Amino acid sequence: MPIDYDKLMNWPFPELEHSYTERDTMLYALGVGCGHDPLDAADLRHVYEDGLQALPTMAVVLGYPGFWLKDPETGVDWRKVLHGEQGLVLHRPLPPSGTVIGRSRVTEIVDKGEGKGALLFSERDVVDKASGEVLCTVTSTTFMRGEGGFGGPSGPTPAPHAMPNGDPELVLDLPTLPQAALIYRLSGDTNPLHADPKVARAVGFDRPILHGLATYGVAGRAVLRACCGNDPARLKRLDVRFSAPVYPGETIRTEIWLDGETVSFRCRAVERDTVILNNGLAVIAG
């Protein structure tokens, strides 16, 4: 049965209040690989309470409405849903603890045609409850296989960020732990695909894969370290397109091109020489 465009466009997301502690901030950072070298001072500021700073990409787990497309009322076959793109605009640094309000909405659904699926665009403002200030805006593109042909708009769709020609100017390798997915899931994404070998095999993987948003967090760490002097206040935007899965324990290589405040990047799994994140765009403050 075709999905109902108007119903999804007006999906009734409740405002979600989310309180988090310094422990949660440190746990998120551990989940995206901080502390692999416990003597690294740049990482220590994200996993140790003395002068603790939140990683900017922790925004993706704050005020998160959960896997709402699994609700039968959406009419979507959640088993065919893929995370296509992720973006983040940071208006101010995230506090290491606090209470936020997540305000989610669907912004558009694009019908790619019968047999070609559909794209669902959504965004979420993360608002500091105490001040009312918007801390950041999280954006996501979801590819819904098999849901095309419902009669919705056929476009336009945003073009991916164009990657520069030539060799990258900076390259940074960051390892992931074999247990990385088991740590990251404690920040809120408990999809068994990332923990249960039986579930992973059932959908075609030989073992559990790392969360896409954990990979996104590793990419954010690389940009923060290579381009921002590891100062979270300097990262203003981070957009990526997911292109292949990552297995826990693999090394993620981030290749970076600089153009003033604009940073282009992509990531690959070194052991398989496979591009896993592409068309990466970051904006940094001087």
181 vs 79: CA distance, rounded Å: 20
211 belongs to the catalytic site = no
196 belongs to the catalytic site = no
93 vs 159: CA distance, rounded Å: 28
Contact (Cβ atoms closer than 8 angstroms) between residue 104 and residue 142: no
Residue tagged active-site, from 24, 46, 125, 194: 194
Report which residue type is found at 188. G
Strands 134-144 and 81-90: antiparallel
174 vs 4: CA distance, rounded Å: 43
Nearest to 275 by CA among 246, 247, 249: 246
Contact (Cβ atoms closer than 8 angstroms) between residue 9 and residue 109: yes
Encoded tokens for 22: 């310094």
89 vs 116: CA distance, rounded Å: 30
Encoded tokens for 128: 């500091």
Encoded tokens for 249: 């324990």
Residue tagged active-site, from 24, 43, 111, 189: 189
- CA dist list (Å): 120 to 69, 114, 134: 10, 16, 23
Contact (Cβ atoms closer than 8 angstroms) between residue 68 and residue 216: no
Positions annotated as catalytic residues are 189, 194
